[in-house]
Structure 1
Amino acid sequence: MPSDCISYQSSGYFTPLITDYLNQKDTLKPLYHRFPTLENFKAQIEEKQKNYNPAFRSVLADTLQEQYKNINTSALTQHNIDLLRKDDTFTVTTGHQLNLFTGPLYFLYKIVSAVNLSKELKAAYPQQNFVPVYWMATEDHDFEEINFFTFRNKKIKWPRESAGPVGRFSTEGLEAVLDVFSKELGLGKNAAWLTKLFEDAYIKHTNLADATRYLANELFSSEGLVILDADTAGLKKLFAPYVQEELLKQTSHLKVAETAALLKDYNIQVNPREINLFYIEDTLRERIILQDGVYHINNTELKFSEDEILALLDSNPEKFSPNVIMRPLYEEVILPNLAYIGGGGEIAYWLELKSYFESAKTTFPILLVRNSVLLATQKQADKLDKLGLSWADMFSKQQDLLNKKVQSFSEFKLDFTDQKELLKNQFEVLADIAAKTDASFIGAVKAQEIKQIKGLENLEKRLLKAEKRNHTEQLERIVLLQNELFPGKGLQERKANFSEFYLEFDGSLLSKLFSQLKPLEQEFNVVIL
């Protein structure tokens, strides 16, 4: 069997920023606190224990108990909630939007990464406890990003109008989505289980936050996952001093802007606003804008003086919602958290935040790129072997892969590099002669060199094309296999939904992920189902 692990750096699917972070490039070291190694967690534990407010533990645990009161909670999840009251318990957190029916596969990989890292930490540091947490992004308002999932290349969408934080959305209208989905699933035990899971989550719960909590709990409660909705007055009251700082001094904008200068050689993931807070109600989430000493709520008639908005913060902290810049601080203030696990895009914006955390006197978490996975069947793995391909080949751009295989199939060399190099050497001699006789000929010699090299390149392309025709059948099989594994020439984990794999492989999907994914190894895993 070909190698089934590909480094993130060589996969071709990570940005230069994330590749440089993984390579621990010196210029990026000021932007993170500790690199994710098992040994580095020792100092992280000690620092977080010193800096985390122990009084927050009871508020956190009480909030979770309230949120879980109507859910059939596993003994392990309940135990983990209870452990959060203890000073020697820490969390490993991942966050995700409330994508319909979990959305793309990488939702699973984030949570598996958090669970498996918690287990690794417990083995390495048995005196402490480690709880995996899924932070539901209930306050987001980008409904168009979450209102669909893809099943066997078919987009199953929830068409409705949206306004306000998505966690508070009514699930009304999802019966029609279930009807479409169940028909796509067909018959059978696994199809029936998936249909019931969708129904119990979305039809029997009245809002998207409760539906998503139920769904994630059904999938992961056996592993002790704790699911948190931070859109609550009790938790936001703990964060109120940081909200007040933002309203009065706009600290996040100043600090993140400073850090952005250190990332000038990369694409900045997010840009801070002057105030990185929203005002929210059930059907409203709008930016807070400060103009001439007055706080305006964008796209509304609402406005507040300084005294009025501070009074509102004191009486109704739940009306203030942190944006992407402040949400990480909110998380790290209210959780005894050690590490944040996210995709490349998330880690990129966390790298903008360290100086902001320092100004807020809050421990910056260890940043871990989540596990990435390519799921394949045994049949696909067998095809790969027969075609003489490696899993690394599958990550190549398709045209590059085909060209490489044509070269290997051919009885003669299709690469004219040697001939082009010989031609260049000959023209160097001609250019030297021209320079010594009549310098006006140098231009003519150069033009002829370009023409001759171009001619060789054209011959090379024609020969390659002819050879492709001779190996059409094998190349078509390669294309078909790569297109199966990389739908739309992109990552499977960013498109496919878990249901199409569960339909065929049921519980073995999650069990294989838990047994094979190692979050600290930072490799693209190929998992054979």
Structure 2
Amino acid sequence: MPTDCIPFRETHYFSSLICDYLEEKPELQRFYNRFPNLENFEAQIEEKSAFKGLSKSHRHVLASVLEQQYTDVNPSEATLLNISLLKESNTFTVTTGHQLNLFTGPLYFLYKIVSTINLTKELKAKYPDQHFVPVYWMATEDHDFDEINYFNFKGKKIQWNREDGGAVGEFSTYGLDHVFDLYTKELGVGKAADQLRVLFSEAYLKHDNLAAATRYLANALFSDLGLVVIDANQSDLKRAFIPYIEQDILSQISSQEVSKTNALLSDIPETDYNIQVNPRAINLFYLSKNSRERIVFEDECYKVINSSITFTKEEILKEIHEFPERFSPNVIMRPLYQEVILPNLCYIGGGGELAYWLQLKDYFEAVQVPFPILLLRNSVLIKTNQQSKKLDKLNITNRDLFYKRDTFINKRVRSISNIDIDFSSQKTHLQEQFKDMYALAEQTDSSFLGAVKAQERKQIKGLEHLEKRLLKAQKKKLADQVSRMTELKDQLFPNQSLQERAVNFSELYLEFGDQLIPQLVLNLQPLKQEFLILNL
């Protein structure tokens, strides 16, 4: 399929922090371990192999938990083989994580997982003596229900309304039959629409909780590609995390280290980096039925806020050892939990995720856990053949599409107009003339400088006003072409946002059917690190 790539910085949709990271700016190098290129994975494999937490017994526990979690799913031979391979010391993972968004949520859910799958293929070709398993980490312990209870379809919000509370993975799927009824009416008719109906109903109407439904959905979409889906909200897995839970409870090490890193990031000169997350004194929640609340240390005891639960030091240590599953890491500690229980080499995430990962390296070093390679997931703009033909007819380039809508329209009107609407040369000529007037004022009476400057500003503003009026008149004259351009721009950038952040995969599935994911697998190159424009 025809493709094109644009550097992430030139899209204007990614932060300066992420763009500087991709360009390997020296001031950021202390905040990550190794840059994501194929050659650096050799050292990453060696470092992870030496991690004492990856014992043979732990690998067997990991594989056993995964086998148990797949008992109610029909995994492919590739997935079952990958789970079995995790028992071996020469097997490593590449991981991406995502919330349990209803019916995958935004389109980039697919790009995260395909990036992960494709990187394992590249690693296997480079290092044939090792095995590499793609892992999707379900964020089952999150409690931000409002972020996941909907997806956008053909400009409409398909939403699941229910009471909030507790870890979302344990939410009952009760009530999703009403969502299915609403969604199925919007789908229309055809083979692809019927396939989507079956996929939704099999996932959400035949599984009891959101974690099981999401596992089924991800397995149905990617099982043949060997994807392994993990729900880490499990007591046997958390038992391996007990030492780090104790460290955070007793010495609050995560807060200390991440706060130091945040200060270092903020002090980098001539940057506008935003601190993505700020640590709390204790970065753990306490999980109970329908509840996930923060743990705090107050009045010489440990308290679970919004509850009557309190612990002495001895009591909370006893609770950690007897019920580790009740302790849930927040955004600061979740990455550490992942790296402790998985033989992981690389984390693949979006710009916001990588931004907070860059705050964690010193924390990982303090607790002696290898810090993974960080890779920005693939980003994609998908165009249909019909859209591509219309864009070609209007002489609109891929780079033109990434301008904000007003800039895009103004630029295109200037381009196709039969008169020159750009007054830049006139402004330059005017400014040159005023240079002589400034010199004259300085020779006579410097008090006139203010008057000259005011007159210059007035005349420049006059030219800008004329330019805007002329542009407005030309837009009116070229209304038909402006309308067609605007319609195409809005189709590809809904609500002036990236397609991948606003559209659900099912919209494109209606267009491309079961060839959508194979085409993504064929075209996404995770280590290329550019924005992909794909014509399907």
Fold equivalence (TM over 0.5)? yes
Matches within 5 A, 1:10-409: 10-51=10-51, 52-54=53-55, 55-264=57-266, 265-409=272-416
Q: Look up the equivalent residue of 2:181 and give its one-letter code.
A: D
The offset of 1:287, in angstroms, is: 0.1
* Counterpart-to-counterpart distance in 1, 2:24 and 2:252: 31
Stretches of structure 2 that go unaligned for 5 or more consecutive residues are 267-271
The offset of 1:2, in angstroms, is: 8.7
Instruction: Provide the secondary structure at the position in 2 that maps to 1:134.
Output: strand
* Counterpart-to-counterpart distance in 2, 1:146 and 1:425: 57
2:269 matched to which residue of 1?
A: none
Conservation of the 8 A alpha-carbon contact between 1:512 and 1:527: no
Instruction: Provide the secondary structure at the position in 2 that maps to 1:515.
Output: helix
- CA change 1:407–1:2 in 2 (3 A) is farther
Instruction: Provide the secondary structure at the position in 2 that maps to 1:216.
Output: helix
Deviations 1:44-95 (A, max 9, x none): 1111111152232111001101101121110000000000000000000000
Q: Look up the equivalent residue of 2:450 and give its one-letter code.
A: G
Deviations 1:454-512 (A, max 9, x none): 11111121222222222221111111100000111111111111112112321111011
Q: Look up the equivalent residue of 2:224 and give its one-letter code.
A: S
* Counterpart-to-counterpart distance in 2, 1:438 and 1:273: 62
Conservation of the 8 A alpha-carbon contact between 1:2 and 1:390: no
**Greater shift after overlay, 411-420 or 111-120?**
411-420
Conservation of the 8 A alpha-carbon contact between 1:2 and 1:391: no
Deviations 1:29-51 (A, max 9, x none): 11000010011111111111111
Conservation of the 8 A alpha-carbon contact between 1:374 and 1:492: yes
2:450 matched to which residue of 1?
A: 443
* Counterpart-to-counterpart distance in 2, 1:255 and 1:501: 44
Aligned CA-pair RMSD: 1.2
Q: Look up the equivalent residue of 2:70 and give its one-letter code.
A: Y
The offset of 1:3, in angstroms, is: 6.4
May I ask how many residue pairs the two structures share in their alignment?
529
**Greater shift after overlay, 410-419 or 351-360?**
410-419
Please report the TM-score for the alignment, with normalisation by the length of structure 2. 0.97
Conservation of the 8 A alpha-carbon contact between 2:5 and 2:533: yes
Matches within 5 A, 1:427-466: 427-466=434-473
* Counterpart-to-counterpart distance in 1, 2:62 and 2:442: 81
Q: Look up the equivalent residue of 1:121 and give its one-letter code.
A: L
Instruction: Provide the secondary structure at the position in 1 that maps to 2:368.
Output: coil
Q: Look up the equivalent residue of 1:515 and give its one-letter code.
A: L
Deviations 1:110-136 (A, max 9, x none): 000000000000001101000000000
Deviations 1:354-398 (A, max 9, x none): 000000100000000101111111000001100101111111111
* Counterpart-to-counterpart distance in 2, 1:417 and 1:115: 49
Conservation of the 8 A alpha-carbon contact between 2:378 and 2:529: yes
Q: Look up the equivalent residue of 1:202 and give its one-letter code.
A: Y
* Counterpart-to-counterpart distance in 1, 2:375 and 2:332: 18
Conservation of the 8 A alpha-carbon contact between 1:3 and 1:391: no
Q: Look up the equivalent residue of 2:21 and give its one-letter code.
A: Y
The offset of 1:247, in angstroms, is: 0.4
Instruction: Provide the secondary structure at the position in 1 that maps to 2:233.
Output: coil
The offset of 1:186, in angstroms, is: 2.2
Deviations 1:496-529 (A, max 9, x none): 1111211232111101100000000111112222
Conservation of the 8 A alpha-carbon contact between 2:2 and 2:535: no
Stretches of structure 1 that go unaligned for 5 or more consecutive residues are none
The offset of 1:188, in angstroms, is: 2.2
1:417 correspondence with 2:419: no
**Greater shift after overlay, 457-466 or 212-221?**
457-466
**Greater shift after overlay, 468-477 or 434-443?**
434-443
Conservation of the 8 A alpha-carbon contact between 1:105 and 1:498: yes
Q: Look up the equivalent residue of 2:316 and give its one-letter code.
A: I
1:5 correspondence with 2:21: no
The offset of 1:197, in angstroms, is: 1.1
1:507 correspondence with 2:514: yes
Q: Look up the equivalent residue of 2:522 and give its one-letter code.
A: S
* Counterpart-to-counterpart distance in 2, 1:291 and 1:441: 67
Deviations 1:308-337 (A, max 9, x none): 000000100000000000000000000000
Percent identity of paired positions between Structure 1 and Structure 2: 58
Conservation of the 8 A alpha-carbon contact between 1:157 and 1:177: yes
* Counterpart-to-counterpart distance in 2, 1:440 and 1:189: 79
* Counterpart-to-counterpart distance in 1, 2:301 and 2:533: 55
* Counterpart-to-counterpart distance in 1, 2:379 and 2:423: 38
Conservation of the 8 A alpha-carbon contact between 1:416 and 1:456: yes
* Counterpart-to-counterpart distance in 2, 1:182 and 1:442: 70
1:490 matched to which residue of 2?
A: 497
* Counterpart-to-counterpart distance in 1, 2:117 and 2:2: 28
* Counterpart-to-counterpart distance in 2, 1:261 and 1:370: 27
Deviations 1:277-300 (A, max 9, x none): 000013110000001320000100
Conservation of the 8 A alpha-carbon contact between 2:33 and 2:371: yes
Q: Look up the equivalent residue of 1:402 and give its one-letter code.
A: I
Conservation of the 8 A alpha-carbon contact between 2:3 and 2:534: no
Conservation of the 8 A alpha-carbon contact between 1:246 and 1:276: yes
* Counterpart-to-counterpart distance in 2, 1:459 and 1:207: 62
Please report the TM-score for the alignment, with normalisation by the length of structure 1. 0.98
* Counterpart-to-counterpart distance in 2, 1:360 and 1:177: 45
Instruction: Provide the secondary structure at the position in 1 that maps to 2:314.
Output: helix
Instruction: Provide the secondary structure at the position in 2 that maps to 1:172.
Output: coil
Segments of 4+ in structure 1 off by > 3 A? none
* Counterpart-to-counterpart distance in 2, 1:2 and 1:200: 35
Instruction: Provide the secondary structure at the position in 1 that maps to 2:286.
Output: strand
Instruction: Provide the secondary structure at the position in 2 that maps to 1:241.
Output: helix
Q: Look up the equivalent residue of 2:398 and give its one-letter code.
A: W
The offset of 1:183, in angstroms, is: 1.2
- CA change 1:440–1:189 in 2 (3 A) is closer
Instruction: Provide the secondary structure at the position in 2 that maps to 1:527.
Output: strand
